[in-house]
Amino acid sequence: MAEKSGAEILIDSLLAQGVDTVFGYPGGAVLPIYDTLFQHPKIRHVLVRHEAGAAHAAEGYARSTGKPGVVLVTSGPGATNAVTGIADAFLDSIPMVVITGQVATNLIGSDAFQEADTIGITRHCTKHNYLVKDPSELAAVVTEAFHIATQGRPGPVVIDIPKNVQVASTEYDRHGTNSSKRYAPAGDADFAAITKAVELLATAKSPILYTGGGIINAGPDASKALRELAALSGAPVTSTLMGLGAFPAESDQWLGMLGMHGTYEANMAMNQCDVMLCLGARFDDRVTGRLDAFSPNSIKVHVDIDRSSINKTVHVDLPIVADVGKAIRQMISVWNSRKRQAAKLDEWWSRIKGWRSVGSLNYPENKSEIMPQFAIERLYALTKDKAPIITTEVGQHQMWASQHFHFDEPNKWLTSGGLGTMGYGLPAAIGAQMGNPDALVIDIAGEASIQMNIQEMGTASQYRLPVKVFILNNEWMGMVRQWQQLTYESRYSNSYSDSLPDFVALAEAYGWKGIRCDDPAKLDDAIAEMIAYDGPVMFDCRVTKEANCFPMIPSGAAHTEMILHSDEVSGTMDDEAKALV
Amino acid sequence: MHIKQEIAERHVLTLTVDNEAGTLARIAGMFTSRGYNIDSLTVADITEDHSVSRITIVTKGPPEVIDQIIAQCERLIPVHKVTDLTDAGPHVERELALVKVSGAGDKRVEAMRLADIYRARVIDATVSSFIFEITGGPDKIDTFVQLMRELGLVEVGRTGIVGLMRGAEAS
């Protein structure tokens, strides 16, 4: 057997995992790995401008392709800069393997140059992490890391490799790698529980399918299975922010997103249903509103691959720990073998129709200024034929995008749901474009969020990635300002986006195209110009400055207490509600 | 507004885990980061090849939090198995304490007499002090330490609880 260095073993192990793209940034403690990478053109390295960008780009790549994202950064600040992206991937269950350099083993603990306790820092925002102290362990660790990152509930895994371990050599044979089988997540569901779930769904008078990001993570077939189950049962379908696209928005059975900024019909149906089938979602606080008033009269079935998601916040009647795609397939097969017919749901649907007629996503028309909702609507109308991949930053623009952009397929909607990371959208778009070179990739951004990772414009320029950044520029950290208006009597503490750059000039400085539009009548042409341009575009869409995002369930309120329009805004809240923000 | 306190019950959990660097930090840190309590924690490797350790954790929380704690422990990659001894039924719990008492005359004699009643062994003696070794359930040790307080208690070292299920099956 031949001897290889740790760095060579690492790169060969990545190749064995089918890795062809790595997002990273070099530095002292990863120089041996970068030197090996130099000699392996099969792996394309995308040089970002900041390590946070590398992690988010890997997330965008993973979410849009279904393959794990791979990150390579140096020790100390390289690793700490990547932590936000790692934490983001942890909360949104994104498969990711992060390789960090570390100071040599004999220097660990000595406060050496660029030393940070990466394993300690990332311990609770990774699914698992490793400090590799011997190159002979490396191949098995990489194999197990990819297994853990991608199987079960996906998540980030960090491999911290000291510099001397990268240089030291050991005997290596790719095919001789023995990896432990200690991680074996759930697969098929318990048959009796599936049968019970089918009976509940088939005999319900007012059922609802409440779906989440788990369906996307379970792969394209899970989305197909969901569509079949919905067709068989005739039940309405709603989804969390993370699950958008798993069920087609064009379907009559689609209620729109639920939760804090979800539609009235979705939240009312959740509140009034008699059977709730939760598929790959986790009863997040942004979804449930006030817990003691959450869907008080329903029997709840929860399918989740992560046992710790069950009964975490909401008590469920029938827990099913399984891969959600497999569980839905099992339900379909039980449904068919028992020759179940869809129950008569006319009365339920007529109630839903009543809620729909409220038109909770309506907004005031404005001929002189661009309403942000209008901008999203037009962006959707003019791009939907191209089935674009949409990423977002975090804030009002994100919620408006989730409400007014519609998705019919999974893996097209990339957003930071759990951690709510401003600065996610642009690097995620870069990662998505790397994984989908022919797709139209648009980052719907706000003028505040985009500045959090704006340096990644350089990355798009370098790799000629034709990403589009569509900024809803209202000169405010809009969601912060909205909360201040609703909760703190309009005391706008530090939420104004002062000293904004000229986004068009900035675009040009990076070799991008810059477009500005502030006239609703000219918006369509400007969007068409953006789509037609074969290169990166920054679109400064000047919108109405103080529009609020409605509907909204205020903090600490129940689904039935939605604010539908801005004239219902009270301007203050009690301390209990403030604390729930 | 004031922070509300929740009513908690005591549970003894026993975990078998991979004996590798960082496992204890992972488990103890998970308790801290998710806001769970640890009343006591013991850990030692238990297999011939030193590859597996048993961790016994005494924790407090409402039933639904205990259930979450178990699920969160099981989610950690190096954790093989988690058993809630309190929930699982008949089990034994034992703790060892070293109790140092100093004194002379009647108090010294009384300390010896009580140690005998509590089946504590003397493992170190000087003309003015003893170290007693006592094992038992936590209540017994609490009581013994309380009695020694009046008789010249100097210091106490306790191991925390280890526990196993009764009967032939593994915990």
**Structure tokens of B165?**
């299920």
Nearest Cα residue in chain A from B18: A182
Q: Which residues of B touch A315 (CB under 8 A)?
A: 64
Question: A170 and A207 share a domain?
Answer: no
Question: A398 and A513 share a domain?
Answer: yes
Q: Which residues of A touch B33 (CB under 8 A)?
A: 124
Start-to-end CA span in chain A (Å): 59
Question: A270 and A378 share a domain?
Answer: no
- Can you give the three-state secondary structure of A499-519, one letter per residue? CCCCHHHHHHHCCCEEEEECC
Number of Cα atoms under 13 Å in the Cβ half of residue A308: 15
Active-site residue, selected from the candidate residues A260, A270, A479, A562: A479
Q: Do A148 and B77 touch (CB under 8 A)?
A: yes
CB pairs under 8 A between A and B: 40
Please tell me the distance in Å from B60's CA to the nearest CA on chain A: 17
Q: Do B30 and A124 touch (CB under 8 A)?
A: yes
Q: By the 8 A CB rule, do A187 and A322 touch?
A: yes
DSSP-assigned letter for residue A572: B
CATH of the domain at A90: 3.40.50.970
Burial class (CB in 10 A: 0-12, 13-18, 19+), B157: exposed
How do residues B110-123 score in pLDDT, each as one tens digit? 999 999 999 999 99
When CB atoms are compared, the residue of A123, A182, A574 closest to B26 is A123
When CB atoms are compared, the residue of B26, B30, B71 closest to A307 is B71
**Which residue matches tokens 């050991």?**
A170
Domains B9-88 and B92-164 are alike in CATH topology: yes
Q: Respond yes or no: is residue A51 known to be catalytic.
A: yes
Question: A158 and A218 share a domain?
Answer: no
Q: Respond yes or no: is residue A163 known to be catalytic.
A: yes
The phi, psi pair for A470, rounded to 5°, reads -105, 100
**Which residue matches tokens 């060892």?**
B96
**pLDDT score of A324:** 98
pLDDT at residue B86 tops 60: yes
Distance between CA A29 and CA A113 in Å, rounded?
Answer: 10
Q: Evaluate whether ipTM surpasses 0.85.
A: yes
Start-to-end CA span in chain B (Å): 44
Question: A221 and A152 share a domain?
Answer: no
**pLDDT score of A575:** 74
Phi-psi region of A329 (alpha: psi -120 to 50; beta: other; left: phi over 0): alpha
Q: Respond yes or no: is residue A539 known to be catalytic.
A: no
The per-residue DSSP string of A194-206 comes to: HHHHHHHHHH-SS
Q: By the 8 A CB rule, do A412 and A386 touch?
A: no
Nearest Cα residue in chain B from A316: B64
Active-site residue, selected from the candidate residues A114, A151, A455, A462: A114
Q: Locate all alpha helices (DSSP H) within A218-308, ordered by sequence.
A: 220-233, 264-272, 285-288
Residues 6+ apart with CB under 8 A from A559: A267, A268, A270, A271, A289, A293, A294, A295, A553
Q: By the 8 A CB rule, do B85 and B12 touch?
A: yes
Question: A348 and A383 share a domain?
Answer: no
Q: Would you say residue A183 lies in a domain?
A: no
Length of chain B measured in residues: 171
Please tell me the distance in Å from A308's CA to the nearest CA on chain B: 5
| Domain residue limits, chain B | 9-88, 92-164
Residues 6+ apart with CB under 8 A from A235: A201, A204, A207, A208, A209, A253, A277, A345
- Can you give the three-state secondary structure of B110-170, one letter per residue? HHHHHHHHCCCEEEEECCCEEEEEEEECHHHHHHHHHHHHCCCEEEEEECCCEEEECCCCC
**pLDDT score of A539:** 98
Q: Would you say residue A29 lies in a domain?
A: yes
Active-site residue, selected from the candidate residues A4, A163, A300, A513: A163
* Three-point CA angle B76, A179, A173, nearest 5°: 150
C-alpha distances (whole Å) from A439 to each of A51, A326, A533 are 25, 29, 13
Please tell me the distance in Å from A90's CA to the nearest CA on chain B: 13
Q: Do B67 and A579 touch (CB under 8 A)?
A: no
Q: By the 8 A CB rule, do A100 and A108 touch?
A: no
Q: By the 8 A CB rule, do A88 and A59 touch?
A: yes
Nearest Cα residue in chain B from A574: B1
The kind and range of the H/E element at A493 are none
Q: Would you say residue A560 lies in a domain?
A: no
Question: A259 and A319 share a domain?
Answer: yes
Q: Do A131 and B18 touch (CB under 8 A)?
A: no
Q: By the 8 A CB rule, do B153 and B145 touch?
A: yes
Distance between CA A515 and CA A510 in Å, rounded?
Answer: 14
DSSP-assigned letter for residue A269: H
Q: Would you say residue A528 lies in a domain?
A: yes
**Average pLDDT per block of 10 residues along chain A, 581 residues long:** 93 97 98 97 96 98 98 98 98 98 98 97 97 97 97 98 98 82 89 97 97 98 98 98 98 97 97 98 93 95 97 96 98 95 93 96 95 98 98 98 98 98 98 98 98 98 98 97 92 97 98 98 98 98 96 88 73 69 52
| B interface test, pick of A123, A143, A153 with most B CB neighbours within 10 Å | A123
**Structure tokens of A116?**
């940070």
Length of chain A measured in residues: 581
Please tell me the distance in Å from A124's CA to the nearest CA on chain B: 7
Please tell me the distance in Å from A131's CA to the nearest CA on chain B: 9
Looking at A129, A148, A176, the residue that finishes a domain is A176
Cα dihedral: B60, B34, A325, A421 (round 10): 160
Q: Do A308 and B29 touch (CB under 8 A)?
A: no
Q: Do A123 and B71 touch (CB under 8 A)?
A: no
| A interface test, pick of B20, B36, B77 with most A CB neighbours within 10 Å | B77
* Three-point CA angle A209, A211, A215, nearest 5°: 130
Q: Which residues of B touch A128 (CB under 8 A)?
A: 76-77
Strands B9-18 vs A275-279: parallel, antiparallel or unpaired? unpaired
Q: Would you say residue A367 lies in a domain?
A: no
Q: Do A310 and B22 touch (CB under 8 A)?
A: no
Q: Would you say residue A285 lies in a domain?
A: yes
The kind and range of the H/E element at A452 are none
Q: Would you say residue A572 lies in a domain?
A: no
Q: Which residues of A touch B74 (CB under 8 A)?
A: 307-308
pLDDT at residue B166 tops 80: yes
Q: By the 8 A CB rule, do A178 and A185 touch?
A: no
Question: A396 and A252 share a domain?
Answer: no
When CB atoms are compared, the residue of A128, A306, A574 closest to B77 is A128
**Structure tokens of B131?**
């170290």
- Tell me the sheet residues that pair with A414: A391
Q: Do B25 and A120 touch (CB under 8 A)?
A: yes
Q: In what order do the strands lie in the sheet with A468-473?
A: A413-414, A389-392, A441-446, A468-473, A537-542, A513-517
Please tell me the distance in Å from B169's CA to the nearest CA on chain A: 22
Q: Which residues of A touch B1 (CB under 8 A)?
A: 574-576, 579
When CB atoms are compared, the residue of B29, B30, B77 closest to A183 is B77
Nearest Cα residue in chain A from B80: A182
Q: Respond yes or no: is residue A479 known to be catalytic.
A: yes
Q: Do B74 and A308 touch (CB under 8 A)?
A: yes
Question: A209 and A164 share a domain?
Answer: no
Q: Which residues of B touch A125 (CB under 8 A)?
A: none
C-alpha distances (whole Å) from A283 to each of A58, A301, A576 are 26, 12, 21
Looking at A321, A356, A391, the residue that finishes a domain is A356
Q: Which residues of B touch A91 (CB under 8 A)?
A: none
**Which residue matches tokens 């097209």?**
A412
Name the 3-class secondary structure at B33: helix
CATH number 3.30.70.1150 is the correct assignment for the domain at B92-164: yes
Closest C-alpha among A546, A523, A543 to residue A379: A523
Task: Estimate to the nearest angstrom the gap between the alpha carbon of A565 and the chain centroid.
Answer: 28
Please tell me the distance in Å from A575's CA to the nearest CA on chain B: 6
Q: Model-level pTM?
A: 0.95
Across A306-463, the runs of DSSP E, i.e. the strands, are 318-321, 389-392, 413-414, 441-446
**Which residue matches tokens 């009559």?**
A252
Q: Do B71 and A310 touch (CB under 8 A)?
A: yes
Question: A112 and A259 share a domain?
Answer: no
Question: A171 and A286 share a domain?
Answer: no
Nearest Cα residue in chain B from A128: B77
Per the structure, the complete domain to which residue A198 belongs is given by: 191-356
Q: Which residues of B touch A312 (CB under 8 A)?
A: 68, 71
Strands A128-131 vs A169-171: parallel, antiparallel or unpaired? unpaired
**pLDDT score of A79:** 98
Architecture of domain B9-88: 2-Layer Sandwich (3.30)
Q: Respond yes or no: is residue A113 known to be catalytic.
A: yes
Domain count of the fold of chain A: 3
From chain B, which residues contact A within 8 Å (Cβ)?
A: 1, 18, 21-22, 25-26, 29-30, 33, 64, 67-68, 71-72, 74-78, 80
Please tell me the distance in Å from B16's CA to the nearest CA on chain A: 13
Question: A163 and A204 share a domain?
Answer: no
Looking at A176, A199, A228, the residue that finishes a domain is A176
Q: Would you say residue A72 lies in a domain?
A: yes
Nearest Cα residue in chain B from A307: B71
